[in-house]
Each structure stands twice: as C-alpha cells, then as structure tokens.
Structure 1
Amino acid sequence: MTSDSFRIGGDITVRRLGFGAMQLPTEPDEARKASIAVARRAVELGVTLIDTAYLYGWGANEELLVEALYPYPDEVLITTKVGVVPPDPPREAALCGRPEVLRDQVERALRRLRVDRLDLLQLHRIDPEVPLADQVGTLGELQAEGKIGHIGLSEVTVAELDQARQIIDVASVQNRYNVLDREHDAVLEACAAAGIAFLPWRPVLPAAAEPPGEIATVAAELGATAAQVALAWLLDRSPVVLPIPGTASIEHLEENVAAASLRLSDDQRSRLNATRPRV
C-alpha cells in the first residue's frame, strides 16, 4: 500500500495530501474570516503541507496564513514561491528571476511569514531572460546562508530540472498535472527516479467538471465524487506525488481530505489510466 506521507528533501515529513491556499480571499471582511477558518480546519484535519506564493495577492496570502496559523504547529510546512513581480500596466504580472529580485523577495517572505528560514522555497517560474544558473544559484546562496532549507522548482521540463540539479539539490517540482492533463508525465517520472517531491497544481479540474464518463463511473463505484477520484488517482500514481488541492470552502476541504482514504482497485486504476488525457 502506498504511504500516506513523504519526506521532502529527506528530512521534512508531510502528509501527501496538502492544501493550496491560492483560492483563499484575503479581503478584510467576512470572506477573510472564512478563509482563516478554512486554513485552520485544514490543519485540524491533519494537513501538514500548505502551499502559498508571493504572487497570491502580492504577499497578502502569506499574511493570511500567518494570521490563521502562527505560531505554526511543528508538523506544518508552509511552502512559498518567488520569481514573479507585480503588474506594471499595461503589462500583467511578469517573471523576474534577477538575482537581486529573488534575494529581496526571499527576505520579504521571511519577514511576512515570521520565520528565520523558509523550509521549502520554490522558484515560481524560470525567467527565460535570466540564465538558469543565476536564478537557482542565487537560491543556493540563500540556502547556504541558512535562509532557505530546501529548494523547489515550478513548471519545468526534464531538461531544466536536470540543468538545475547540476547546480543545486532540488527537493520538489510543482507542475500542472491531473488525470486528464498528463503533459508532464516525463517530469513526474524523473522526480520519482530521483526521490523528488512532485506537487501537482490544478489536481482536480477538469476531472471534477467532466461529463459522465469513466471518472464518474469509478466515483459511483466508490461512493465518492469525481474530485475525490481525481485526487485518489494522483495519490495512487506515484509515492512522490503530493497533490495540493485548493478551496475556500470547508465542505470542499473536508471532501478533498477524505479522498486520501480512497483506494483504487487494479481494474479501476487501469480504467482511469486509459482515460484520454487532454494535452
């Protein structure tokens, strides 16, 4: 049976079903109170991996998690991302991997999250205008300074992962991936071979919105929802997969967390594997 936990970087043990905080509203009103309740409920349900990023409200999402969870329980890992800068009209948010920008964003994240070290810091995207070596090299320097524990990447190819691993130890990769979107199968396989955590973002859609088909059939057989089947498939796919479904609803959060207890039969696994991915 596949383990329900994973050791990121070999030393940070988390439960494999995490929580993506991106969808949590941060406005100072009832919606913010509801967001805080969702974050706290996630921890109550045993979630130990919570994903955020500077991009999510330009720090507001990180600050929301601080309000909800600080001081953080010992077992909870808050992972954040850097490498994107705010919009400068008419330009939308842009990638920026310049060393001085990455260093500044890491320093600000430390202050916002009220920690001395970011246990897992991910590069949100590779900036094509800056040499990859300069980007991951800067994060490596910050790691040597004790400000970063482990380094991760997001939306990378196998070649980019290989190149980065020649410079730093990569602890995680966060790419878009789900039962109907397997574009990054090769990246997942590379992570599995190297023992690197693979955090699929958008782990549920579009499966949860699909018309009746094999996913719905398996869901009926298990007495589950299509979203739960999508998460169960990911957890079954490889022991290095750590899905991070996001929601602003406690009901949906509880539904997602319950998916960790689903077990696919060999037949169900085969049928889901045969479902035509969208590429």
Structure 2
Amino acid sequence: MAHIALTIAGSDSGGGAGIQADLKAMSALGVYGASVITAVTAQNTRAVTAVHGIPLDVIAAQIEAVLSDLDVGAIKIGMLATPEIIQTVADGIAEFPGPVVLDPVMIAKSGDALLAREAVQTLRDVLLPRATVLTPNLPEAACLLDQMVAETTDEMTAQGHALCDLGAGAVLMKGGHGKGDVCRDLLVSPDGVVAQFEAPRVDTRNTHGTGCTLSSSIAAGLAKGLRLADAAAQAHSYLQGAIAAADALGVGHGHGPVHHFYRVWES
C-alpha cells in the first residue's frame, strides 16, 4: 500500500513552489501526494502577477473528498491567503488524527505578499496550535511573534520556544535567511532543541520553492511513519541536494526552482 500525504496550498503556475513543488517532493521521496488547492496564482520565477482565492465551499469539498476516501498519513499546509480560508482549512481537518506540517507562507521568493496582513492573527490563533511542526523562515517567525528577525542561534532558539508556547508541537526554525557560510536549521520542542541541521550555504539564486519543498518533504517522512526528527533530517538532506543541483536545471530568468528530481533525472 502506498504511503499518502496531502498538501493544502496554493498553485504556482511556474511549477517551482506551492502545490507543484509539494507534489514533486513527495513523489521524489516515494510518497503518493494528494492536493487541495486554496488559491491559483499567476506566477513565474520573477513575479506573482495575480492571486485568485478558491471559493470556500470548494476548498472544504476538496478536503472532504480526499480525507473521506484516501488513507492520508500526514498533511502539509502551505499558502492560505485570507482569514476565511484559514478557518475553512482548520474546520476541514479538525477530525484528522495524523501529523500536520504547517508552513506559514507569507512572501514569495520574488518579494510578493501571499498572506493578507489581517490573516496573520488568524493563522496564529486557529492553525498554529494544530501543527505537529511549524516550519517558518526567520522573517516569518518574527512576524508571527511581532519581534525582530533572529540573528543568532540563541535568538532562533528563543523564538522557536515562543512559537511552541503559542501551541505548536514543535518548530523548525529555518536559517536560510541568515548570514554566514553555514546555513543552520533548529528543530525546537517545548523541552529544548531536538536537532540541529547544518549545511554549507550554496551560492545560487535558484532557490524558488525551498520552503514548500522542505515542509512537504517532512510531511512525506511523517506519512511513512518516521519520527519527526528523522523526517526533518531526511527532508534537510533531500533539499540540500535539490538546491545544489538547481543551477543545472535552468528554469526561468529570475529565482529559478530547486531540482526536485535530481536523484533520477540527468540534467
């Protein structure tokens, strides 16, 4: 029987992030991916030029259709553009017994906003306590806490604990926006730092979809029954390979996507 993960997120017409990145990552890691589309974006490697939210009843119907039939092992949640969409998703997964990976998508790689300002509070109140693990980058963590962006490992740890205090089961503080030659991610639980993942910072502009890819990769691992720390370690290793191979992919003229299938394609 196939391991199944569900992604609830927005569509990226350029194929590098969102639902498309999620399904590619899940497939690359040997997991069957199902999807619920919350928004359609007109997007490429350079810009997001339009966003259209899916009607709430259609989002709810997609969730019900998948969860009523497929044996979903884990859910990844990404782009939720409005407070109403956030509430609809929270209601739709209320009875889901498995792990939930929440990626608080706020800004695209191009700099375009993907989450309405008034939706941040709703995300914090309604969905954050539902998360088995929250996967913010440093600016997203700061926004959720209304604090300055963390610059040190101690500050990252403190913000991770603060987000756990808001209800998240664990927090993966992603260091991709940090400085220095080493990129450091911290997996923080209410009891302390569970794991630390480090990798050399890759000199590339082709990092479109990294956050989506990492969170969906963690969901894939959890759908296979891995412990959270092991799922995060697998996802980190996979993403580093996808980033390292991104320049060979050569898609688009802006911030290109990572290479989800670097293990099976010949570039």
Tell whether the structures are fold-level matches, with TM greater than 0.5: no
Coarse TM-score class (shorter-chain normalised)? 0.3 to 0.5
Structure with higher Rg: it is 1
Q: TM-score, normalised by structure 1?
A: 0.42
The structure carrying a bigger strand percent of its residues is 2
